[in-house]
Amino acid sequence: MKVGDYVRTKDGYIDKIKAIDEERHQRRNDDEEKLYKIYQLNKEYYDDEFDETCDWVFEDFIIKSSPNIIDLIEVGDYINGEKVLFITKNGNTRLEVVCSDGESMLGWRSYKEKEFKSIVTKEQFERCEYKCV
């Protein structure tokens, strides 16, 4: 991972690495201090390892990284308000997906990275969803 890469966190957020630092930290389950790489992201997150909300996280908080945001999109995420049902990647610059508006299948869409207006991950959507019982 390097500065400028996009990341998908274990909480399901997509963000970008602002800085990387190797610092001496004692993790909760570790008795001795070791050098760990920590990553500064654009937003603040609650990281169990730091036991606080901050914009620096340990590597295990990040589940995927790539210089291309397209590589982080998964089935169930939403692109430009449309739910991704199926994905085919066409190189590093184009994502072809079957999308739904929630009620009907909208068919194939092809997006270039620069055409993304919004991305909501399935984890973010589930956290905000209210289910009637």
pLDDT tens digits for 77-110? 888 888 888 777 666 666 667 666 666 566 667 7
pLDDT averaged over every residue in the chain? 79
Average pLDDT on 46-55 reads 72
Are residues 74 and 61 part of one domain?
no
Average pLDDT on 18-40 reads 73
Token pair recorded at residue 83: 């739910």
* Total number of domains in the chain: 2
CA–CA gap between residue 60 and residue 64 (Å, rounded): 10
Say which residues have a Cβ less than 8 Å from residue 79's Cβ, sequence separation at least 6: 73, 95, 97, 99, 109, 111, 116, 118, 119
Give residue 12's domain range.
6-66
Are residues 39 and 12 part of one domain?
yes
Query: What local confidence, expressed as pLDDT, does residue 105 receive?
Result: 60
Query: What local confidence, expressed as pLDDT, does residue 3 receive?
Result: 94
pTM: 0.74
Are residues 118 and 81 part of one domain?
yes
Q: Which of 19-23, 59-63, 86-90 has the lowest mean pLDDT?
A: 86-90
Average pLDDT on 2-12 reads 92
Last residue of a domain, one of 22, 47, 66: 66
Query: What local confidence, expressed as pLDDT, does residue 80 receive?
Result: 84
User: Cα–chain-centroid distance for residue 44?
Assistant: 13
